[in-house]
Amino acid sequence: MTAETALVWAGVVLIGGIGSVLRFVVDRSVSRRLAQPFPFGTLAVNVSGAALLGLIGGLALDKDAALVAGTAFVGAYTTFSTWMLETQRLGEERQTWAALLNIVVSAVLGLAAALLGQWVAEHL
């Protein structure tokens, strides 16, 4: 392993850790403020993460920078598994419309946010 490769891996560990802690902070902050059974915290995390990943994808980053910023940070920040678990929980609680809304709103806003992030990157 070269020193450069070791540095990239160290960046992945550090930046990924920061992303996961930030996910927790944002999710909890939004959830506490809104205090609703709908998972607004996860929605906020995933939509903001989609925007950030769109921005990163639209920038001309080298392979290692894209790995650290996109995969490590945004990958650790966003959370598909929590989104699906919360959707399943809403279904178990017979909140079918809320579960369907969580899927549709997350997908639509996530795509729009990613496109917006890409657009911003192209205009920098």
Residue 34 banded pLDDT, cuts 50, 70, 90: very high
The percent of residues above 90 in pLDDT, for the chain, comes to 84
Provide the token pair at 67: 């790995």
Confidence of residue 3 (pLDDT cuts 50, 70, 90): confident
- CA-to-CA distance for 120 and 111, rounded, in angstroms? 14
**What are the pLDDT digits (tens) for 61-93?**
998 898 899 999 999 999 999 999 999 999 999
pTM: 0.91
Residue positions forming the annotated binding site for Na(+): 75, 78
Distance CA 85, CA 22 (A): 20
